[in-house]
Amino acid sequence: MLILGIETSCDETSVAVVEDGLCIRSNLVSTQEKLHLKFGGVVPEIACRAHLESLLPILDEALKGAGVTLKDLDAIAVTNTPGLIGALLIGVTAAKALAWALRLPLIAINHLHAHIFASKLEYGHAPEFPCLSLVVSGGHTSLFLSNKETQHQLLGATLDDAAGEAFDKVAKLLGLGYPGGPAIDNIAREGSPAAILFPRSYLEPGSLDFSFSGLKTAVLYHYQELVGARRAVPLTPVPLTRKELADLAASFQEAVVDVLVEKTLLALRKHPVKGVALGGGVASNSRLRQKLARALEERHIQPYFPSPKLCTDNAAIVAGLAYYKYLERDMASLEVEAVA
Ligand code: KG4
Ligand code: ZN
């Protein structure tokens, strides 16, 4: 069974063809990083125009790469929530048009559930359910108790900034460019994670929610002290030494990672399952993977960490998950809406 997946929820236009939910025949991703670079973050209007321009050429390439034509497809899947509304609308409209023209079933996919599915695509047989799923991306930081591929119970989520957003904002402050996550991950390797003790926000005892806005402010204040200019908003990045930048990045990253690991362990105490699946762009972070893997190993919990290219936004996770929704006959109508 061949499913075409479309993903346009944020700043990556992606089309994939996946066979029987597990075999990736093609997975094309066109990133808009260059377009958003000078703004230091995703500009929604630019993102949706770029999706409009690149979606059809990528669709052609994905079909060619998979060695199939539109006639070979069995279903069309698309991310319809959550994401930037204008960006989602491009993918959803294209998917509806294809499904209608080809008389194929349409399957609507929740982007966070697709991120969780990355583990299944990576490992084939895994994860063993029930498991915990931690989705850490630019827009979300959410912990789920996953009962099967299509069923995820939300245990906790961020009350303010997502982890990836905090990475991006701190990188912007430090003049490290966009997207900030990989830039901080890289320079942090040269720094000391213990150089600066940034606050870890655990919220009230037992809470599985997250908060990263205070940490972001703490980094801002520390930076302002370092450059000797305490202003409400930094107007221009003042150059720090490479060592200062590396220490700041490593200490900030450590604070984010500590909270993510601690909350996952707390969730495991409340829901003693055998495995933890990681997904979303921040799941590529080397320090998070290292510390979480160590903590899980000590507790004999199986880590399911997909490779970085499946962690960041891509359509293979959309088409893969759609197969399981298809088996459950969970199709969408042509009236299905994009939901921000
Ligand atoms: O899942 P994703 O591709 O898009 C969303 O659904 O948001 O995640 C993008 C986020 C960005 O904030 C980016 O900075 C972050 O993932 N990211 C990382 C790393 N690679 C990507 N954050 C920390 N360390 C990384 N290595
Ligand atoms: Zn994502």
Instruction: Copy the structure tokens of residue 259.
Output: 């909270």
Distance 181 CA to ligand 1 centre (A): 6
Rounded-to-integer distance, Cα 94 and Cα 62, Å: 15
For the segment 149-202, what is each residue's pLDDT rounded down to a tens digit?
999 999 999 999 999 999 999 999 999 988 899 999 999 999 999 999 999 999
Mutate-to-test residue for ligand 1 from 184, 216, 312, 317, highest number of ligand atoms within 8 A of CB: 312
Q: Do domains 2-115+312-327 and 129-307 have the same CATH topology?
A: yes
Instruction: Tell which CATH classification among 1.25.40.20, 3.60.20.10, 3.40.47.10, 3.30.420.40 matches the domain 2-115+312-327.
Output: 3.30.420.40
Question: How much is the mean pLDDT over the chain?
Answer: 94
Distance 180 CA to ligand 1 centre (A): 8
For the segment 304-340, what is each residue's pLDDT rounded down to a tens digit?
999 999 999 999 999 999 999 999 999 999 999 999 9
Residue nearest to atom 7 of ligand 1 (CA): 138
pLDDT at 232 over 60: no
Of ligand 1's atoms, which has the minimum distance to the CA of residue 280? 1
For the segment 16-70, what is each residue's pLDDT rounded down to a tens digit?
999 999 999 999 999 888 887 778 778 889 989 999 999 999 999 999 999 999 9
pTM above 0.85, yes or no: yes
Rounded-to-integer distance, Cα 205 and Cα 111, Å: 29
Of ligand 1's atoms, which has the minimum distance to the CA of residue 284? 26
| Other C-beta atoms lying within 10 Å of the C-beta of residue 97 | 12
Q: Which CATH superfamily is domain 129-307 in?
A: ATPase, nucleotide binding domain (3.30.420.40)
Instruction: Copy the structure tokens of residue 325.
Output: 């929704």
Question: Ligand 1: which residues within 6 Å by Cβ?
Answer: 10, 137-139, 164, 167-168, 179-182, 185, 280-282, 284-285, 312-313
For the chain, which residues make up each domain, given as ranges? 2-115+312-327, 129-307
Ligand in nearest proximity to the CA of 179: 1
pLDDT band for position 237 (cuts 50, 70, 90): low
Distance 156 CA to ligand 2 centre (A): 17
> Strands, E, within the chain: which ranges?
2-7, 12-19, 23-31, 75-81, 106-110, 131-136, 141-148, 151-157, 275-279, 302-304
